[in-house]
Chains A and B, each alone.
Chain A
C-alpha cells in the first residue's frame, strides 16, 4: 500500500463548476500538506500549503486537512479552462521537514469551456 493515495482520474467538468480533489494517507507522522499543479511537460508548481489540520483559502482555491481521518482536499471554485492540469497532493513529516516530499499519483483535471 502506498503512503499517499490519490484518484488518478481523469476528471472532466464544465467551466464554472466546483472541483473537489482528494488524497488519503497512511503515515500519521505527516504534518505538512501541499498541493502542487503540473501542466503538461512542465515541472510541478506549489499551489497551496497547510500545516497540520484546518482550512486555508487562497482566491478560488481552498485546502482542507483532516488529520483524524488522514484525508486532505483541494476545492476549486469557479473553475476555468486554465485550471486544466494534473494536481498532485504532497506531504512530509516533522523530522525531515520539507526536504523529502511524498507525492500522490496526481489527478488529471480538464475544465471544458
Chain B
C-alpha cells in the first residue's frame, strides 16, 4: 500500500484479555518500529525490527508485551493479560534503511487505539 496500515483502528477489551495489533509497513521498508502514545504525551519507543529480527526491544514495558515480524514485512504486537494502564494509541512506523537511517524519517501509521476497561 501507499502508507503504513494498522489494524484494528480501535480496540476495546476487558482487563485480563489478550490483544493483537497488526502493522503492514510500506512495501520495501526493512525497518519497522512500534511506539506507544498515551493521551497528551509524545510517542514512546517500544521495539525496533530490522528485517525479521528484533534489533532493539528495550522499550517493551514488561513480559506481557511481545512483537513478531516472521517474514520481514507484517508485524504483530501482542499484549497478554491487558491492564487499564495499557490503554493508549499504539503507533507503527517503517523506514527505508540505510538511506533514511540518519534522517529521522519514520513513516507512521494512524495507530491502533486500545482501550482496556
Contact = CB atoms under 8 A, between A and B. Distances in A.
Nearest to A50: B104
Contact of A42 (B102, B107, B110): B110
B62 interface: no
Interface string B44-62: 1100101000011011000
B44 A98 contact: no
13 contacts: A4-B42, A32-B102, A43-B108, A43-B111, A44-B43, A49-B105, A97-B101, A98-B100, A99-B50, A99-B101, A101-B45, A101-B104, A106-B40
Nearest to A104: B42
A32 B102 CA distance: 7
Contacts, number: 73
Contacts of A101: 43, 45, 104, 106
A110 B55 CA distance: 38
Interface stretch (A13-21, A68-76, A88-96): A88-96
A103 B44 contact: yes
Contacts of B102: 32, 51, 97-98
A99 B43 contact: no
Contacts of B107: 45
Contacts of A100: 45, 48, 56, 58-59
Nearest to A2: B42
B76 interface: no
Q: Top 6 nearest A-B pairs by Cβ distance?
A: A43-B108, A103-B42, A34-B104, A49-B104, A46-B105, A99-B48
Overall SS of chain B's interface: loop
Given A49-B104, A99-B31, A105 B110 contact: no
A96 B102 CA distance: 9
Contacts of B95: 98
Nearest to A91: B104
A45 B44 CA distance: 15
A51 B103 CA distance: 8
A105 B38 CA distance: 10
Contacts of B33: 99
